[in-house]
């Protein structure tokens, strides 16, 4: 049984090259490979800072310790590898998490903690001596997570994650809905990066400052909107000076 945590944000994937015209309408002479690199760089920054690309990860069964006459024979793993459901993207942040207990036929929310907070939750972690029903999850890196405490074998646990993702460094595509929604932010971000490049035919520090200021304002707006779960409440964004 799969129960989603929240609707995913997204549509189909489009290539950066298919929207090069949005940038090149105001700038010419930039090689495609350069333009693709900076569109991806800006998309990564947007997704990392504003957490606008959000998806449901698939169900993740937790492997438990195995016991014979009260003696543990198999160590419960402390690391679980997760793969983004969208090609050429990776985990940016865990936003929501919950644990399905099969025997209890019940859902339990999981706290999201930093690795520094893990030992406050389970001082014996990752030792199996402190195993039990997982109550928290922590992100270890872009491809793995850990649950705290290590799972026992008193139930069958399955966790569900709702996460923010970002393109990988080698991505050439972006979600069409993300691009359509944040097209202006990406436009200003890319132009800022390109105009800042030294000793190029298109180098223009004055225009770079303008587009940089617009980029920062729109990223802050996107983050504020995402923090309100994309609701319609009024947003207040304080413009930041561009240094």
pLDDT tens digits for range 112-145? 999 889 888 888 777 666 778 899 999 988 888 9
Question: What are the angstrom distances between the C-alpha of 111 and each of 55, 71, 141, 157, 229?
Answer: 18, 29, 17, 15, 18
Cα 20 to Cα 242: distance, rounded to the nearest angstrom: 26
Upper half-sphere CA count for residue 71 (Cβ side, 13 Å): 3
pLDDT tens digits for range 186-209? 999 999 999 999 999 999 999 999
Give the per-residue pLDDT at 195.
96
Token pair in block for residue 15: 């290539």
Give the per-residue pLDDT at 235.
37
Question: What are the angstrom distances between the C-alpha of 79 and each of 70, 97, 130, 134, 135?
Answer: 24, 16, 16, 13, 15
Which of 7-11, 94-98, 104-108 is the least confident region? 7-11
Residue with tokens 């993300």: 178
Give the per-residue pLDDT at 113.
93
DSSP 192-234: HHHHHSTTSTT--HHHHHHHHHHHHHHHHHHHHHHHTTT--S-
pLDDT tens digits for range 15-74? 999 999 988 887 889 999 999 999 999 999 999 999 999 999 988 888 765 555 555 555
DSSP 112-165: E--GGGHHHH-TTTTSGGG-BS--EEEEEETTEEEEES-B-SSS-EEEEEEEEE
Give the per-residue pLDDT at 4.
40
């Amino acid at each position: 049984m799969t129960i989603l945590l929240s609707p995913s944000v997204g549509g189909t994937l489009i290539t950066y090259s298919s929207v090069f015209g949005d940038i090149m309408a105001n700038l010419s002479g930039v090689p495609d490979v350069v333009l693709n690199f900076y569109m991806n760089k800006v998309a990564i920054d947007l997704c990392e800072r504003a957490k606008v690309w959000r998806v449901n990860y698939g169900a993740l069964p937790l492997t438990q310790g195995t016991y014979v006459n009260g003696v543990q024979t198999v160590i419960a793993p402390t690391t679980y590898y997760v793969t983004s459901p969208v090609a050429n993207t990776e985990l940016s942040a865990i936003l929501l998490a919950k644990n399905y207990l099969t025997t209890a036929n019940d859902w339990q929310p999981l706290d999201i903690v930093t690795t520094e907070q893990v030992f406050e939750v389970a001082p014996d972690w990752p030792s199996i001596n402190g195993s039990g029903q997982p109550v928290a999850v922590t992100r270890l890196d872009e491809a793995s997570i850990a649950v705290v405490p290590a799972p026992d074998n008193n139930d069958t646990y399955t966790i569900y994650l709702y996460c923010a993702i970002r393109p990988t460094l080698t991505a050439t595509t972006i979600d069409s809905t993300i691009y359509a929604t944040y097209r202006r932010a990406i436009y200003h971000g890319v132009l800022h990066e390109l105009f800042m490049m030294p000793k190029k035919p298109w180098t223009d520090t004055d225009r770079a400052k303008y587009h940089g200021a617009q980029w920062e304002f729109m990223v802050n707006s996107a983050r504020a909107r995402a923090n309100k779960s994309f609701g319609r409440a009024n947003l207040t964004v304080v413009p930041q000076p561009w240094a």
